[in-house]
Structure 1
């Protein structure tokens, strides 16, 4: 079975290149619609905060620290002895949180090119340039949790150590953490609410799928948003109309076929009482053909019946049908991949398989039956090596009472309802029946059913 099976979700092929990366479920797409603006808002807000608030706060902190350093430098230059330096350093530590030390006679090596490593370095360096008229070097990375500032004085090099808390604002990180936390919280709330909104749609889809497979839909009621309730009510009305239509057609066909039997029986009795003449023989032949047609009508009506689907082992059903079809000595090549269990209208499916295998035996010498899983579907094929059917007539033969007089022998054929009944049974289970050219030149009938 090399033929590809249709995908009901993408009948015209897979999703486009862009849609491949998008969620396929309604829940995923709804959450994406909600979350995408939220993320964009958070990103824009964070960028504005960083660009305005963080930059302003950093600039003011850097200016405050630079002012303290400039004051300390001025006082140090005015000191007359070590006692003055000790008092200045002690005052700076207690009031400005500055740890000072002076290397007497040292020379500061200032790099020719100042490399700024970030906003903090740039702001501090700019603020010190405004307040100091002497060479200096800033190092914000070498020491943990501390910033080192070296200033060239007349006495030597002044070393200033200050905690990085004077340059960094914790509100920035609090804002970012709050933004991320609130986004996660809102995302969780959105997912919970959207799941509750999607549940009625999933129930509606499940009910429609079950109805399409011919299964009874029980305990289904409209619920959810107004639009979803409207869709559910429309589905229920559609289901009731289809059931009434099928029931009326079934009763009509059964009634007409039953009523035709009475005059046919009277005609047979009257013909039996007449003499054997060519005209009587022709009339008897016509009556037999009409009886055959009535039986076909009844079989078609039974195919529209209210048989309830029950869990069925398809492999056992196929073995049973093949066993019955080979009682007269015929040979059928049966190949089953594995046990396949699914809800089926057992007698209707038996009639469908019997019609297909009977046609294959009637027009071919070799018949092969295969069944197995194909992706998310179950596929059954019946092949023969007979004359086949022209491709342009594959759909015509499914029409009721249609017969191919040239490619099929009318003397051995039925009334043109066998394939019609078979396709109706397959479609009533949510699947379909199609015809293809077999590799050996005959005909292949392929049934696919939802797993």
Structure 2
């Protein structure tokens, strides 16, 4: 079994990883395109870095040492030859012959001594290798001057009789223009990165199209099946989405047809009941006074049932195939407020500027506002409409001065998705219709406390 001391290092490692993971999340891209390109870029850079390291660390160093050893070998041979000469003229002939055969410039300064030793300029492996080769192969004092000329290097070797000067062409020591290899590596990496970006963009485009179609479908803006594109897995996801979309549309159509049919069929017997109640004969005043309360209760029950069936029909119509269009919302609020006043309600005001538009189903949204206004008129009497525009959404608020709901009651209704019975015995279907239509638009609904003292319903709709 593991003890608590065994678990502590694991927890410390987890904490350390979390501390490291948080800054990385801020730096790393959040999009799929960015992360995919990062997955391509990092191995590419690591591969190029390893290639450059191996090339410059092994191959170029070996070539540079061999070039330097070749030059110093020729210089060593010339030194050995002039040490065996007996006269200055013979030494001059040897140096001239060596210059013509080795492409090195040899000259001799008899009786001279070096005033400085070593090398005066370090450019990289080429300088170090040449100085090292002179030191190891010749074993004599030397001075290497890299500032003599851009094309030549002046190497002075101290000999017993004087100083031998060797003018070495830089091309004899240089391993070639290194920047060509760097440019080739960088340009090839950029080309590969761009090609990978083109392929990844096509794949990400198919995923974005799928996500956009799913978002529009969630808002009730059905634009039909999408064309499968991209990789096989993305195509399978698109095909599955099209099948799901077809099943959901078929289910909604069947439910709408059932609700509409049942609600319509129930209205026929209710109409007959209303006619029957209206035609019940009364025999005399005593009989009429006895039946009048019972008839009034029956009529009230029939009206409640008709109102409930009307709500079901409204719910069924809200699930219809109305197409979303760009709608001006302030004018719709004014129309609903005017209709509420004609129905006997009191509208304290309609707030919000004109010209605020959103893509909605006009009839369905009007039904939502009418239901909320009717609820406010029935429970409070006075109400207020307000419209506020955000960057990505539009908020419509309907407030009343009724008794309102407690915070716990509002939370309970929200948690139960608006299907709980209200305190006055209603089924709560009106709020269900409102919630269903708003959610079909891709929006949300909140119940808040109204400044008027009653209940406030906040509808949030995407633009």
User: Is the Cα contact below 8 Å between 1:77 and 1:154 reproduced in 2?
Assistant: no
CA shift, 1:128, in A, is 0.7
Query: Which runs of 5 or more structure 2 residues have no equivalent in the other structure?
Result: 1-20, 281-287
Which residue does the alignment assign to 2:431?
Answer: 419
Q: TM-score, normalised by structure 1?
A: 0.83
2:355 equivalent to 1:343:
no
Aligned residues: 429
Q: Which among 16, 36, 57 is matched to residue 51 of structure 1? A: 57
In structure 1, the residue matched to 2:33 is 27
Q: Which ranges of structure 1 fall in alignment gaps of 5 or more residues?
A: 1-14
Evaluate the alpha carbon distance shift between residue 356 and residue 287 of structure 1 in structure 2; reply closer, same or farther with a 3 A threshold. Answer: closer
Q: Which of 429, 435, 441 is matched with 2:447 structurally?
A: 435
CA contact (8 A) 1:58 1:120 kept: yes
Aligned counterparts of 1:384 and 1:102: Cα–Cα separation in 2: 111
* 1:297 maps to 2:309: no
Change (3 A) 1:438 1:257: same
> What's the offset of the Cα at 1:351?
1.7
Q: Which has the higher contact order (CA 8 A, sep 6+)?
A: 1
Higher helix share: 2
- Conserved 8 A contact 2:118-2:131: no
Q: CA deviation at 1:127?
A: 0.9
1:380: Cα distance to partner? 3.4
For residues 84 and 247 of structure 1, do their structure 2 counterparts lie closer, same or farther at Cα, with a shift above 3 Å needed? same
Q: Alignment partner of 2:390: what SS?
A: strand
Contact 2:119 2:143 in 1 (8 A): no
Instruction: Tell me the secondary structure at the aligned position of residue 221 of structure 1.
Output: coil
Q: 3-state DSSP class of the match of 2:446?
A: strand
Matched residue, 1:91: 97
Match of 2:12 in 1: none
Separation (CA, whole Å) in 1 of partners of 2:383 and 2:202 = 56
Q: What does residue range 41-440 of structure 1 map to in structure 2 within 5 Å?
A: 41-78=47-84, 83-84=89-90, 86-110=92-116, 118-140=124-146, 143-170=149-176, 172-218=178-224, 220-274=226-280, 275=288, 276-325=291-340, 330-336=347-353, 339-360=355-376, 362-363=379-380, 365=382, 367-374=384-391, 376-384=392-400, 386-394=402-410, 396-397=412-413, 399=417, 402-405=420-423, 410=424, 415-437=427-449
Contact between 1:303 and 1:348, CA under 8 Å: does it hold in 2? yes
User: Shift in Å at residue 133 of structure 1?
Assistant: 2.7
Mapped partners of 1:235, 1:18: distance in 2:
34
1:344 and 1:379 mapped to 2: Cα distance? Answer: 13
Provide the C-alpha distance between the structure 2 equivalents of 1:387 and 1:326, rounded to a whole number of angstroms.
Answer: 20
Pair 179,420 (structure 1): closer, same or farther in 2 beyond 3 Å: same
Q: Which is worse superposed, 363-372 or 233-242?
A: 363-372
Q: Which moved more, 1:25-34 or 1:209-218?
A: 25-34
2-structure distance, mates of 1:303, 1:232: 28
Q: CA–CA distance in 2 between the matches of 1:317 and 1:142?
A: 89
1:234 positional shift: 1.3
CA distance in 1, matches of 2:22, 2:448: 29
Q: 1: distance between equivalents of 2:374 and 2:97?
A: 110
The residue matched to 1:446 in structure 2 has which SS?
strand
Offset at residue 444 of structure 1 (A): 3.8
| Distance change (3 Å), C-alpha of 1:156 and 1:211 | same
Shift of 1:202: 2.5
Contact 2:340/2:374 (8 A) holds in 1: yes
Relative to structure 1, is the Cα distance of residues 385 and 124 closer, same or farther in structure 2, using a 3 angstrom cutoff? farther
Under a length normalisation based on structure 2, what TM-score does the superposition of the two structures give?
Answer: 0.81
